[in-house]
Chains A and B, each alone.
Chain A
Amino acid sequence: EDKVVQSPLSLVVHEGDTVTLNCSYEVTNFRSLLWYKQEKKAPTFLFMLTSSGIEKKSGRLSSILDKKELFSILNITATQTGDSAVYLCAAVPYNQGGKLIFGQGTELSVKP
């Protein structure tokens, strides 16, 4: 059965800290991995990763995929209170219409 596991499940840091969120996957016919940020309601898209070893960056956020070891990390540097959210990773298998297989999420709380 396809599975995505995130760690830690929750994390509390102070503003300015750097955090690393982990996502491992076991997915038959893996195509890509996506990261989303969920604050109150709708998850918002952060990154899509399809190739190993190529870092994607957006401001203070970055992410990389390792297809040999079957994991991805999401880094957030110089955290701010606005980064507080649940971070979701999801794997996309080939030939299944693009459906997302989600991990449980990591709840990040950034304290002032």
Chain B
Amino acid sequence: GAGVSQSPSNKVTEKGKDVELRCDPISGHTALYWYRQSLGQGLEFLIYFQGNSAPDKSGLPSDRFSAERTGGSVSTLTIQRTQQEDSAVYLCASSWTGQGVDEQYFGPGTRLTVT
């Protein structure tokens, strides 16, 4: 079956513009996660969804970042007024339960470059 997909794969934007990143999880997975990987860094947790609810937004770096999930499926991560420090690879993952008992399956990521 299809894995986690993300779009776009690459995005170049000018500082100050808004961007939307999309994630399509594996069908049937109830939990969805967003992570960010900056150059030379490990993955940093941003937010997770259980169904359409986001119980933990603690990793969002500022109020310019927001995310939503609709229909228990697709999620979008929106970054408003982008800054150069937002440049990173944004990875999405999904899992069956969100209980921490099963692996997370990762998408290929969106590479965001803010010029």
Given known contacts A97-B31, A104-B42, A45 and B105 CB-to-CB distance under 8 angstroms: yes
For this complex, into which size category does the number of interface residues on chain B fall? 20 to 34
Pair B45/A42 contact, Cβ less than 8 Å = no
Q: Mark A72-100, 1 if CB is under 8 A from B, else 0.
A: 00000000000000001010111011111
Residues A1-59 near B (CB distance < 8 A): 4, 6, 31-32, 34, 36, 41-45, 48
Residue B78 lies at the interface, judged by CB distance under 8 Å to chain A = no
Expressed in whole angstroms, the minimum distance between the Cβ of B60 and any Cβ of chain A is 13
Tell me which residues across on chain B come within 8 A of A41, comparing CB atoms.
Answer: 108-109
Pair B56/A97 contact, Cβ less than 8 Å = yes
Tell me which residues across on chain A come within 8 A of B3, comparing CB atoms.
Answer: 42
| Interface SS, A side | strand
Complex Cα spacing A102 to B43, Å: 6
Q: Mark B4-16, 1 if CB is under 8 A from A, else 0.
A: 1000000000000
Pair B97/A98 contact, Cβ less than 8 Å = yes
Pair B106/A97 contact, Cβ less than 8 Å = no
Residue B103 lies at the interface, judged by CB distance under 8 Å to chain A = yes
How many chain A residues have a CB neighbour from B under 8 Å?
Answer: 27
Pair B109/A97 contact, Cβ less than 8 Å = no
Taking each of A92, A97, A102, which has the highest tally of chain B beta carbons within 10 Å of its own beta carbon?
A97
Can you list the 4 inter-chain pairs with the closest CB atoms, starting with the nearest?
Answer: A98-B100, A41-B108, A102-B42, A42-B106
Q: Which A positions have Cβ atoms within 8 angstroms of B? A: 4, 6, 31-32, 34, 36, 41-45, 48, 88, 90, 92-94, 96-105
